[in-house]
Amino acid sequence: MIAARLLIAALLLLATGALGRTRQLESNNKRDRFWRHKNGLLFLQRYNFYERPDFTFRIVQGLAAPFNLRAVSFESVNNPGHYLRHQSFRIKLHRRDGSDLFDRDATFAVEKANADPCDPDLVSFRSVNKPFRYIRHRSSELWLDPVDSTQAAEDSTFRAVILK
């Protein structure tokens, strides 16, 4: 049952055409806030059309798991070759250096949403090399944290959208 839910979450990205395409990622519990990179770090901020490239990521097959349909990486559209990764548990934007560590730090398993596992439009992103930690926002910054509370579950749930 759990494996089926995980596959459904991964297939959601495939079915909506997100894999290989550009998307903005919106917080589920801060509905007007989206992932944005700035100065090499990832934040949760209100969308600004004029800074759209900073809010937009290409969702690609996971760098460390190229044959795993559940694994994804996030490439910056305005900094090609730069991917979101965790370092010291902070989510950062770095140029891919070709190392195995970088590829593992930049690969996330698509999972059913921590906050609402029955909603097919929502997902959570679990680190492949820190398997008990998820991408989560706190204080408008994105971190890799354990989901150990209802608040953490809410803060680690997102949807991939297309904004004009």
Domain boundaries, the chain: 2-161
CA 128 to CA 35: how far, in whole Å? 20
pLDDT tens digits for range 43-81 = 999 998 889 999 999 999 999 987 788 899 999 999 999
pLDDT tens digits, residue range 73-95? 999 999 999 999 999 999 999 99
Q: Which pLDDT belongs to residue 94?
A: 98
Task: Take residue 93 and report the two structure tokens written for it.
Answer: 């934007």
Bridge partner list, 87: 90
User: Which contiguous run of DSSP H or E holds residue 110?
Assistant: strand 108-112
pLDDT at site 66: 78
Task: Report d(CA 74, CA 106) in Å as an integer.
Answer: 8
Statement: the pTM of the whole predicted model exceeds 0.95: no
Q: How far is Cα 55 from Cα 53, in angstroms, rounded to an integer?
A: 5
Helices (H), 42-124: 52-55, 100-105
- CATH code for the part of the protein at 2-161: 2.80.10.50
